[in-house]
Amino acid sequence: MAAMPEISFTEYAERRQRVLKHIGADSVAIINASTLKTRNHDAEYIFRQDSDFYYLTGFNEPEAVAVLIPNRAEGEYVLFCRERDPAAEQWTGYRAGIEGAKAKYGANESYPISQLAEIMPKLLANKDCVYYRMGMDWIFDKQVFTWLNGVRAQVRAGIKAPTTFKMLDELVHEMRLIKSEAELAVMRHAAQIAAQAHTRAMQVCQTDMYEYEVEAVIAHEFRRHGMETAYTSIVGGGKNGCILHYIENRDPLNAGDLLLIDAGAEYQCYASDITRTFPVNGKFSPAQKALYQVVLDAQYAAINTVRPDALWDDVHQAAVSVLVDGLINLGLLTEAKDKILADSLYRKFYMHRTGHWLGLDVHDVGAYKVEGEWRRLQAGMVLTVEPGLYIPAEEGIDPKWWHIGIRIEDDVLVTESGCEVLTAGVVKEISAIESLMAQGKGI
């Protein structure tokens, strides 16, 4: 089997070095892992690691805290985690343990998570500044302040308590915004499998199937490649396609309707995010075709703006301009283009923006504005480009358009010379969709 792309432990160590260098000698950075969340009674949701924690550690267990301490003689990276415990592991699975945290994950020192309250005040002693993600988790906030009080209690022994708390978010999120080659390899893989899943959905879709049956085909493609769903798949036929985050996925699919599928695979915690819209019975009606082509043209126009130095908002404005032209041509908007743009009248049919950053989070971190101005794109950023049109059933709108919901979404990497569409593996041209569906192919 071919080697699967992955992020090396050296790369995780380099990321921590960048944080250590940035925060400086008198500071400490604390990053907590995700906790298990109850689904019902004593059953939990599948564990998903906190993205910042994972980005800096590669450690995929709950009940862990990473502490970065510049210039510390005993080592700059301390990882608190669960101890090995054969009896507990028989019930809930393997643990790296204290030795694994050091040997495999590169911690200089590792302690049982049960010793956090005892050891943290010592790590914070005589430090000036604490970097952490305030307000993300109230229980953790309370713990941090308890440790602070633990240091304050020692002032008469000549120990100085931290005086400054800073947010760690911006530093780590700016790092996460620019993807490394290894991250891109992982993201390409997630994108490719997601594209395969959408292709299979088009191949299996038949009138009278249920939305969840198509969802199951997508989930099967993800799981057979060891991937998770990056977010709950949206599989909406007919008017359900007009609900932006429709996740019930339980209605039958009717001939003559479109099916909108927004589904992405997650690989090693990195997301892909694809939307395709296609006719349930394999043939676009003239009205569907006309609207679909407008959205597709808007998407091409938006993707065409993606290059270094373009403004984040250029991508959205390019899509809006083409969508508005199309809505005017089709008689769905009757005002002058200037007025439609100035008063955002298009929002009746296009109420979301054209994309978002993509990475460890599907709506990934990183600022969209810098010093009050739209951010300029840079090589290594990954964004989605996802224009859509959603036509309500309303008086004043020709019924031939009612309930048509269309979105087309791809994942796009900014390169030195322009861009690369990571999700090009699934078709989106009308003729290509129709011929793929005509070929069909069972479940």
Which residues are designated catalytic? 42, 245, 262, 273, 352, 356, 363, 386, 390, 407, 409
- Asked if 273 interacts with Mn ion (CB under 5 A), we say yes
Among 273, 314, 361, 364, binds ligand GLY (CB under 6 A): 273
CB nearer to Mn ion: pick between 273 and 361: 273
- Asked if 47 interacts with ligand GLY (CB under 6 A), we say no
Site for ligand GLY in 352-371 (CB under 6 A): 356, 362
Locate 65 and state its tokens. 């805290």
Locate 373 and state its tokens. 């101005």
# residues contacting ligand GLY (CB under 6 A): 7
Residue 130 gets the label, from left (phi > 0), alpha (psi -120 to 50) or beta, of beta
Residue 357's nearest CA partner among 195, 187, 227, 167 is: 187
Query: Which one of the spans 148-156, 201-209, 216-224, 273-281 is the region binding Mn ion (CB under 5 A)?
Result: 273-281
CA distance 229 to 227: 7
Q: Are 147 and 117 in contact (CB under 8 A)?
A: yes
Query: Taking the complex as a whole, how short is the minimal distance between the CB of residue 175 and ligand GLY, in angstroms?
Result: 22
Distance from chain centroid for Cα 180: 16
Locate 440 and state its tokens. 């069909």
Residue 231 contact, options ligand GLY, Mn ion, none, Cβ 5-8 Å cut-off depending on partner type? ligand GLY
x/- track of binding to ligand GLY for residues 396-415 (CB under 6 A)? -------------x------
Residue 50 contact, options ligand GLY, Mn ion, none, Cβ 5-8 Å cut-off depending on partner type? none
- The full 3-state SS of 38-98, as one line of letters, equals EEECCEECCCCCCHHHHHHHCCCCCCCEEEECCCCCCCCEEEEECCCCHHHHHHHCCCCHH
Please classify residue 307 by burial: count the beta carbons closer than 10 Å to its beta carbon, then call 0-12 exposed, 13-18 middle and 19+ buried: middle
x/- track of binding to Mn ion for residues 376-395 (CB under 5 A)? --------x-----------
- Asked if 221 interacts with ligand GLY (CB under 6 A), we say no
* Residue 242 identity: C
Among 386, 390, 404, 427, binds ligand GLY (CB under 6 A): 386
Query: Taking the complex as a whole, how short is the minimal distance between the CB of residue 296 and ligand GLY, in angstroms?
Result: 17
Locate 128 and state its tokens. 């000036």
Which residues bind to Mn ion, rule: CB under 5 A?
262, 273, 384, 409
Which residues bind to ligand GLY, rule: CB under 6 A?
231, 262, 273, 356, 362, 386, 409
